[in-house]
Structure 1
Amino acid sequence: MEVVLEMTLPRNAESAPLVRHTLDASLRGLGVGSEVRADIALALGEACANVIQHAAAGREYEVRARMDGARCVVDVIDGGADEAVNPAAVWDDVQAPPLAESGRGLTLMRAFTEEMHIAGRAHRNGSVVHFEKSLAS
């Protein structure tokens, strides 16, 4: 069985829990264990938080997820940063100090998924955060 979710969400703090819960319910329905679901929820939450905080050029963002029983593939797509922010800096991979309250999102996403990368959108402003996770415990 394959489950595909596509959501267009307002770029506000209330949207992140909604998309996390929706994806988690789908994964639970496929029989995915709680540890794997927690890893995916953490990565998704970090990606959404970054879009909400930094992608000021758009009022909305998209989340696309595909689960086929073996893998979960997620893309979080933003509309780009405002002109005052360097888009490369939004996803900069500088190591945050251990006790910093922010700046560790990419490190966490890489630690809890098997594949994670960020790319620019073809023919449009913005970025795509792509990550994949095996659904096997």
Structure 2
Amino acid sequence: MTLPRDAESAPLVRHTLDASLRGLGVTPDIRADIALALGEACANVIQHAAASRQYEVRATMDGVRCVVEVIDGGGGGGTAAADREVWGEREAMLSAEHGRGLHLIREFTEGLRISDRVHAAGAVVHFEKSLAG
């Protein structure tokens, strides 16, 4: 899905993915973990990826796991290092009011990776969730 970088897009993509996973028989607990992680990733793009008016969410499922990628157009810093910092390469303390998104994504999913986009500004946040309860 390609979405506008605004607050209304996060619930839309979360509900769309949740409905798809429910239709495929994924348990409520697994769906909740994926929704939480996706919401955190989308919120980060909406708040920080000022260089782009849109972002993408890609999700695939192979029967064993769900793989999600949230792709932004950059944080406006103009460099790969600035884009990685937007995604929290310098993570906040757990007691902080803001900046705990990566902690939450890491806690509720597996395989969290943040990488630069190929041939474009921005970053890709990749996470996976096992469908085995």
The normalised TM-score by structure 2 is: 0.92
Structure 1 stretches lacking a partner, 5+ long: 1-6
Partner residue of 1:127? Answer: 123
Q: Secondary structure at the match of 1:72?
A: strand
> Which consecutive aligned stretches of 4+ in structure 1 deviate over 6 angstroms post-superposition?
none
Q: Which amino acid aligns with 1:125?
A: A
Conserved in 1, the CA contact under 8 Å of 2:66 and 2:131? yes
1:46-73 Cα offsets, whole Å, 9 max, x none, are 1000000010011000000001221100
Question: What is the RMSD of the two structures over their aligned residues, measured on CA atoms?
Answer: 1.5
Name the % identity.
Answer: 69
Does 2:75 match 1:81? yes
| Cα distance change on mapping 1:120 and 1:84 into 2, 3 Å | closer
Alignment of 1:30-69 (within 5 A): 30-69=24-63
1:84 positional shift: 7.8
In 1: Cα distance, 2:59 partner to 2:84 partner: 24
Cα distance in 2 for partners of 1:75, 1:50 equals: 13
TM-score by length of 1: 0.89
Q: Please give the per-residue CA displacement for 1:17-66, whole angstroms capped at 9, x wherever unaligned.
A: 00000000011011111110000001100100000001001100000000
* Number of residue equivalences: 131
Question: CA shift at 1:136, angstroms?
Answer: 1.3
Secondary structure, aligned partner of 1:9: strand
Unpaired stretches in structure 2, ≥5 consecutive residues: none
